[in-house]
Amino acid sequence: MNTYTISEVAKQLNLTVYTLRYYDKEGLLPFVERTSSGIRMFKESDIEALKVIECLKSTGMPIKEIKNFIDWCSDGDSTLQQRYDMFIERKASVEAQMEELKKTLELIDHKCNYYKTALEAGTEDVHKSNKIEIPHS
């Protein structure tokens, strides 16, 4: 089975070697084996694990919590429930984030229209006077 160096993995996952070493230092990569001289050898499965780490990171999970998950993985079957619960919780979190982004997008869309109209009028004033009641004349 062939392996990859740290810079190859960095390139493949669009990370820096600094970041990968930092992850290792933080205990996120206990599964990465070394040559007798200490050089990291990333297996295919290590890259898959890193993809899971990146996935968790993109849900906003802090590295220390990701480390908990990695520790559970090392602990074997006795932690299956924790790991399941964690992913269920992450799922809920991501769904909440998507809801949040939806609302954000609505406001942004609103602003896009606001500025489109203002640009066409050449001034923001078209919006400002909206709420002032104009007396019959």
Partner DNA sequence: AAACAAGATAGAGTTAACTCGAAGTCTATC
Partner DNA sequence: GATAGACTTCGAGTTAACTCTATCTTGTTT
| Site residues, DNA (CB under 7 A) | 5-8, 16-19, 21-22, 24, 35-40, 57, 62-64
Out of 11, 64, 91, 127, the only residue in the binding site for a second copy (CB under 8 A) is 91
Cα-trace Rg, the chain: 25
Q: 16-28 as b/e, with b when 16 or more CB fall inside 10 Å? A: eeeebeebeeeeb
Out of 13, 24, 41, 59, the only residue in the binding site for a second copy (CB under 8 A) is 59
Choice between 37 and 120, CB closer to a second copy: 120
**75 to 68, 83, 133: CA distances (angstroms):** 10, 11, 70
Six token digits for residue 121: 């009028």
User: What contacts 24+ positions apart, CB below 8 Å, involve 62-70?
Assistant: 63/23, 63/26, 63/28, 64/26, 66/28, 67/26, 67/27, 67/28, 70/27, 70/28, 70/29, 70/30
- With CB under 8 A as the rule, give the number of residues binding a second copy: 36
Distance, CA of 69 to CA of 57 (rounded, Å): 12
Q: Does 39 bind a second copy (CB under 8 A)?
A: no
Give the shortest CB-125-to-DNA separation in angstroms: 30
Out of 38, 62, 76, 135, the only residue in the binding site for a second copy (CB under 8 A) is 76
Out of 32, 116, 134, 137, the only residue in the binding site for a second copy (CB under 8 A) is 116
Out of 38, 62, 122, 135, the only residue in the binding site for a second copy (CB under 8 A) is 122
Q: Name the 3-class secondary structure at 41.
A: strand
List residues binding a second copy (CB under 8 A): 51-52, 55, 58-59, 76-77, 80-81, 83-84, 87-88, 90-91, 94-95, 97-98, 100-102, 104-105, 107-109, 111-112, 115-116, 118-119, 122-124
